[in-house]
């Protein structure tokens, strides 16, 4: 990997930062230079991490069992998914068919990128309003409650459907020579997530009493986001958050976390942890899928905490429909035995994504705020 740039020492964080300032967040240097984290990374008391967090029991779905067609295994999988998705939207998937060696290669390459000098990472710097690219500290985007993480996000569409820039082409364009293997492993990972997400869409469709292919066809052509989350060690983890409290605005999130732990979900009025399980993926419903089910399946509040001992790494694949597809629930989930009441307006993912990238920081109210924003736009 080319290291032609000279490591730049990041300018110190000071109170009078302007939004335009793209100060480099180099946690290693921040950690070495002070026992206190910059004020911009300190969260308000009511959002600071809690200490006595217990594990949340989420069902472990045997995906191979579901796909085998065995009637008992199918009914067991659909029952467990229906219960979890109706309550909090989180479940684990095992026997998923993703190659373990792909996972270990993906983690290895993550180290090589996030441990590179800041100016090397900045070659892929996220541009304002864009959902792809490298982001550190988010200081150019938010002025307070900064997440203690660095992220590298890619756009992904299954090539056989619409030819868009692939992950490996993006990496080559942004990072140049020496990143061929890096681009290849994340292209392969994103393709594996696309395959896995469509299988899960079959399971979700059946669990709602729809045709098995209903949601699979809705997402066959997708314009998804694949994100690497790197959470450096933090000197004051009791004051910071790796990722703040939010519901994913997307449709379905497939997350792999390393062995460190830190993902928490707000269920039954308290924060509960999802312990690491290397052989499974954490899957959660997002706002867009909640709208597609007319509110039947829940997009749930969650966050990531950090620690002072170990860095933490996770991969998040966010399945999103084609940008211009209209997001509206099937009649079966609105009429019939249902109240006939629509919970959310029709919208497109491209509008919702633009809302989160240019107008509103995703939190626990994103979908409601977006619905209001849409109505206000229409009344002009």
Ligand X SMILES: O=C(O)CCC(=O)C(=O)O
Ligand Y SMILES: C=C1C[C@]23C[C@H]1CC[C@H]2[C@]1(C)CCC[C@@](C)(C(=O)O)[C@H]1[C@@H]3C(=O)O
> Which residues are tagged catalytic?
312
DSSP 8-state symbol, 125:
B
Give yes or no for residue 314 binding ligand X (CB under 6 A): yes
Cα separations in angstroms, 92 against 62, 176, 193, 202, 240: 9, 37, 14, 16, 27
Choosing among ligand X, Fe ion, ligand Y, none, which partner's interface includes residue 362 (Cβ < 5 to 8 Å by kind)?
A: ligand Y
Give yes or no for residue 257 binding ligand X (CB under 6 A): yes
Choosing among ligand X, ligand Y, Fe ion, none, which partner's interface includes residue 168 (Cβ < 5 to 8 Å by kind)?
A: none
Q: For ligand X, give the closer residue by CB, 206 or 265.
A: 265
DSSP 8-state symbol, 172:
H
The one segment of 132-140, 196-204, 256-264, 332-340 that binds ligand X by CB under 6 A: 256-264
Nearest to 260 by CA among 242, 247, 248: 242
Give yes or no for residue 320 binding ligand X (CB under 6 A): no
Measured CA to CA, the distance from residue 70 to residue 77 in angstroms comes to 11
How many other CB atoms are there within 10 angstroms of residue 181's CB atom?
15
Give yes or no for residue 304 binding ligand X (CB under 6 A): yes
Among 140, 245, 262, 321, binds ligand X (CB under 6 A): 262
The contact set with ligand Y (CB under 6 A) reads: 147, 225, 243-244, 246, 248-250, 318, 353, 356, 361-362
Backbone angles phi, psi at 326, to 5 degrees: -80, 125
Give yes or no for residue 248 binding Fe ion (CB under 5 A): yes
The one segment of 41-49, 103-111, 203-211, 254-262 that binds ligand X by CB under 6 A: 254-262
Q: For ligand Y, give the closer residue by CB, 206 or 241.
A: 241
Helix axes 180-207, 71-87, angle to 10 degrees: 100
Measured CA to CA, the distance from residue 241 to residue 225 in angstroms comes to 22
Residue for token pair 């692939």: 166
Enumerate helices (H) and strands (E) in the chain, giving the number of each.
Answer: 11, 15
Q: For Fe ion, give the closer residue by CB, 74 or 282.
A: 282
Among 187, 207, 224, 229, binds ligand X (CB under 6 A): 229
Among 243, 280, 288, 366, binds ligand X (CB under 6 A): 243
How many other CB atoms are there within 10 angstroms of residue 37's CB atom?
21
Contact residues toward ligand X (CB under 6 A) are: 227, 229, 243, 248, 255, 257, 262-263, 302, 304, 314, 316
Contacting positions for Fe ion (CB under 5 A): 248
């Amino acid at each position: 990997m080319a290291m032609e740039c000279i490591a730049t020492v990041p300018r110190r964080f000071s109170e009078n930062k302007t939004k335009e300032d793209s100060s480099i967040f180099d946690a290693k240097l921040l950690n070495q230079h002070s026992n206190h984290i910059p004020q911009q990374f300190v969260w308000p008391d009511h959002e600071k991490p809690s200490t006595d967090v217990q594990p949340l029991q989420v069902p472990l779905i045997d995906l191979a069992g579901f796909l085998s067609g065995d009637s008992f295994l199918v009914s067991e999988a659909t029952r467990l998914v229906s219960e979890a998705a109706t309550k909090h939207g989180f479940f684990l998937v095992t026997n998923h068919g993703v190659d373990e060696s792909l996972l270990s290669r993906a983690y290895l390459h993550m180290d090589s990128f996030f441990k590179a000098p800041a100016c090397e990472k900045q070659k892929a710097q996220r541009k304002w309003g864009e959902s792809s690219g490298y982001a550190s500290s988010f200081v150019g985007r938010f002025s307070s409650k900064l997440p203690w993480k660095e992220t590298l996000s890619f756009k992904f569409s299954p090539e056989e459907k619409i030819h868009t820039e692939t992950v490996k082409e993006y990496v080559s364009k942004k990072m140049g020579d020496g990143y061929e293997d890096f681009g290849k492993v994340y292209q392969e990972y994103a393709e594996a997530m696309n395959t896995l997400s469509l299988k899960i869409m079959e399971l979700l469709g059946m669990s709602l009493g729809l045709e098995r292919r209903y949601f699979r066809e809705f997402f066959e052509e997708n314009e998804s986001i694949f994100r690497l989350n790197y959470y450096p060690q933090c000197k004051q983890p009791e004051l910071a958050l790796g990722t703040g409290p939010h519901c994913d605005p997307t449709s379905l999130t497939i997350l792999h976390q390393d062995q460190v732990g830190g993902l928490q979900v707000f269920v039954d009025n308290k924060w509960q942890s999802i312990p690491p399980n290397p052989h499974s993926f954490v899957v959660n419903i997002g706002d867009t899928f909640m709208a597609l089910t007319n509110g039947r399946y829940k997009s749930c509040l969650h966050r990531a905490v950090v620690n002072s001992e170990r860095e933490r790494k996770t991969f998040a694949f966010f399945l999103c429909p084609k940008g211009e597809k209209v997001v509206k629930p099937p009649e079966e989930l609105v009429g019939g035995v249902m109240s006939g009441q629509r919970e959310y307006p029709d919208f497109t993912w491209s509008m919702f994504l633009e809302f989160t990238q240019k107008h509103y920081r995703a939190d626990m109210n994103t979908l409601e705020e977006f619905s209001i924003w849409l109505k206000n736009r229409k009344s002009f």
